[in-house]
Structures are given as C-alpha cells and as structure tokens.
Amino acid sequence: MSSGNKKLVLLGVSGGIALYKSLEILREFTKKGFDVQVVMTSNAAKFVTPLSFSALSGHSVITDIFSSESGIQHIEIVKKSSLFLCAPATANLAGKLASGIADDALTTIALACTCPKVLVPAMNTNMWLNPIVQKNMEILSKSGYEVLPPVSGSLACGESGPGRMEEPENIISFCLDLLTPAKFFSGKTILITAGRTEEMIDSVRYISNRSSGKMGFAIARQAKAMGARVILIYGRTSLPPPNVDIGISVVSAEEMRNAVLNNFKNADIIIKSAAVSDYRPENVYSGKIKKTDEKINLALIRNPDILKELGRIKNNSQYLTGFAAETGDILNSAKLKLKDKKLDLIIANDISQKSIGFDSDENKITWIDKNNNIKSLPVLSKDRVAQEILKKIAKDLELH
C-alpha cells in the first residue's frame, strides 16, 4: 500500500542510545522515494527530540495515541503502510510486543500492523543474552516479525559483545528486499483463479459463497510484482481486478473450467484460490420462479472439480497449488485434498473466524507441500500471505 504515489514506511523508534542511527535510516528511506511516518516512545523522545524526526520526514511524529489527531487516524496510517520497521527495539519494547501489550502509540500501532514487520533490537549484551529476551525474540519471529539480530562490537555501556544495532545500510537493504520483491518469476506464466462462482437457479437467483476475490487478486498483484506473466480467471466481484496480462471474468464453475482449460497449457504455475461451487441446480428456470404455497425442491448436481482435473492432466514441470477453506480438522482435510488432487502444494485457510479467510483483508494459512513439509503463518494481510506463498513456490522451483 502507499501514501499518495509513495510507499509508506512506519518507522518505530524506542529509547536506546542507538536511536541516533534511526535519523540516518529515515534520511535514506526518504532519499529512496519512500514516505516515512515516525512513531516514538516517550523514552525515545528523551534521547532525540521528535522535532529532528519530523523535520526530516515532513510529518509530525506520533508519540501519543490520545493526541488531538485521534487514535483512529493512527489506525488509518497502519492500513496505508507497506512496512513497519522498529529500530532500535529495546528489550522492554520487544517484551511488550511479545506479550501483546499495547500501552502507548508505538506498541498499539505495531499490534495493529499486518504489513511486513521488521524489528532491529539493540541493547546491552547481558540483556540480549538473557533467556527471557531470547524467548521473546523467538515468539516475535514465530508471530511474523523479521528480527534482525544485533551485531557484536563495543557498546555504549562500555562492554563488548552482541547488542549493537545492525548498521543502517544493512537494515535498509533488508527492508528494500521486502518492499520491492525480487523478480523470481521472470519468464514464467502463472495462472490464478480468484473469487466465487455463481450457479443460476432462475434468471435472478443463484447459489454462491462469500468469496470476495481479495485473496486471488493479492496473489495476482504480487505475482506481477515478482515478474510473472499473469493470467487471472475470476468470478463476480465488486473489486476492481488488478492489472494483469490476461484477465478473464467468468460466472459459473463450468465457465471457469473452460477458461482454465483453455489457458492451462501455457502456465508454468497454477494457483487455484477460487471458491468454486461444488453443486449447481439441475435445471435453470427461465424467468423468475413464482412464489406459491407449494414446497419447492431444488435438485442439485455435482459441478466438475477443476483442480482435480488439472491434477490428472498436468505435466511434470507444471506446479499445481490448491486452496482448502476449512474448519475443524484443518490439516487432515487439506492433506487428503493434496493427495486426492495430486497437488504440489495446498494452502489451508482457517475459516472458523469471520475476521479471516472469506471476504476479509487478512488470512491465516498453513501450507503443506507434497513432501509433507508443513508451515503455519500468523494472521497476515492477504498481500503478505500472497508474498509468502509465492516465495515458497519460487523456492520449490529453485527460482530463489
């Protein structure tokens, strides 16, 4: 996401001596054309005044979630941001984030962020080596933070050892990789299906589901950003489709099947995130069914399973990815689908909560590959989920 035409970086600054380097980080990001919004803890503001940061960023620094600009505005900033970087991150800040504590502007914003998050700790060596701090870092890594560990060197406290904040140059280069992804898929074609199918009952009524197309569109967007030629086949949606090489809009499962089969041979990678109706009415009434006092029985017949068909006909060099929207025993159901449909990878979404999965901005996935490697990701924005799935595919195909 971006602020105006520029991508927005949220720069979190907590109170450690290393924060003089944050000014350099801020300057480098703005030089490279990013918009930067700084968020400081009150301790950080004792080391360097917010004025220095606002002068360099061109925005007033957020230090208080309850300031005159309301908290809601801060949440809006979170939605627009492409990256959250906290440098330096103190042991205290990491402890709060690992425990889900949000008692100031920085921790509140960090907790609300679903964009990529990078934490750059800096502290005294003994603090860094303390098992509690190490445990917190492990929790943060498992919760989706990229942690750039401190380097060894002489510290402000006079000691020497690991604890020094990573150099700004390396921090910037790490962040740029997240902000502008590598073109793993140059020369490759990726076929993606997105959204829902609709199966007509009569001329105005249909059977469908709540898929919005957000997940599939995010994959298409990120695949383009990673250099792929993208063919996107999508069901009815209220969202504008992303800019791809070939975009085909369909309504029913039958139409989706035809469009997929027509384009399948040209695809190196297929990702089927669409929610396809398993059934359709046996007869479609012409006109609108009239209301009577009689009971109506709607006979449903099976729709073709497009993914299963692809699993049967794909050649050895094509990489096939399916999705599984699941509740209950998510892993086992997904494993069965992986095997039954002869997939290379299956993405299981937990759709037990309304805030993730169907028609939401976030998703929580676990992937299983054909070698039974399993990885669960925390709740992330759909763009971020898309990046992670595509990186996994690039790695499996040795495009990394």
Q: Is the peptide bond before 88 cis (omega within 30 degrees of 0)?
A: yes
For ligand PMT, which residue of 307, 320, 338, 393 counts as binding (CB under 6 A)? 307
* Least distance from ligand PMT to the Cβ atom of residue 211, Å: 4
306 binds ligand PMT per the rule CB under 6 A: yes
* Least distance from ligand PMT to the Cβ atom of residue 143, Å: 21
Residue number, 125 or 273, with CB nearest to ligand PMT: 273
Among the candidate windows 13-21, 119-127, 200-208, 353-361, which touches ligand PMT by CB under 6 A?
353-361
22 binds ligand PMT per the rule CB under 6 A: no
* Least distance from ligand PMT to the Cβ atom of residue 238, Å: 11
User: To which residue do tokens 């892993």 refer?
Assistant: 331
228 three-class SS: coil
Residues in Cβ contact with 268 at an 8 Å cutoff, skipping those fewer than 6 apart: 188, 189, 190, 317, 318, 319
393 binds ligand PMT per the rule CB under 6 A: no
For ligand PMT, which residue of 20, 359, 378, 400 counts as binding (CB under 6 A)? 359
Phi and psi (nearest 5°) for 278? -75, -25
Among the candidate windows 38-46, 101-109, 117-125, 272-280, which touches ligand PMT by CB under 6 A?
272-280
Q: Helices 91-99 and 105-112, interaxial angle, to 10°?
A: 50
Phi and psi (nearest 5°) for 118? -120, 130
325 binds ligand PMT per the rule CB under 6 A: yes
Active site residue 157: yes
User: To which residue do tokens 């942690």 refer?
Assistant: 147
Q: Choosing from 86, 113, 115, 157, which is the catalytic residue?
A: 157
Q: How far apart are CA 103 and CA 213, in angstroms?
A: 36
* Least distance from ligand PMT to the Cβ atom of residue 47, Å: 43
323 binds ligand PMT per the rule CB under 6 A: yes
* Least distance from ligand PMT to the Cβ atom of residue 307, Å: 3
User: To which residue do tokens 């920085």 refer?
Assistant: 106
Contact of 223 with 214, CB cutoff 8 Å: no
380 binds ligand PMT per the rule CB under 6 A: no
Residues between 184 and 243 with contacts to ligand PMT, criterion CB under 6 A: 195, 211-215
Q: How far apart are CA 375 and CA 147, in angstroms?
A: 18
Query: Which of 281, 264, 379 lies closest to 320, judged by CA?
Result: 264
For ligand PMT, which residue of 48, 59, 331, 358 counts as binding (CB under 6 A)? 358
Q: DSSP letter at 304?
A: P
Among the candidate windows 41-49, 93-101, 182-190, 350-358, which touches ligand PMT by CB under 6 A?
350-358
Phi and psi (nearest 5°) for 161? 150, -175
Q: How far apart are CA 377 and CA 143, in angstroms?
A: 8
For ligand PMT, which residue of 90, 107, 222, 273 counts as binding (CB under 6 A)? 273
Query: Amino acid letter at 338?
Result: L
37 binds ligand PMT per the rule CB under 6 A: no
Q: How far apart are CA 196 and CA 372, in angstroms?
A: 28
Positions touching ligand PMT (CB under 6 A) are 195, 211-215, 253, 272-276, 278, 303, 305-307, 322-325, 337, 349, 351, 357-359
Q: Which residues are catalytic?
A: 157
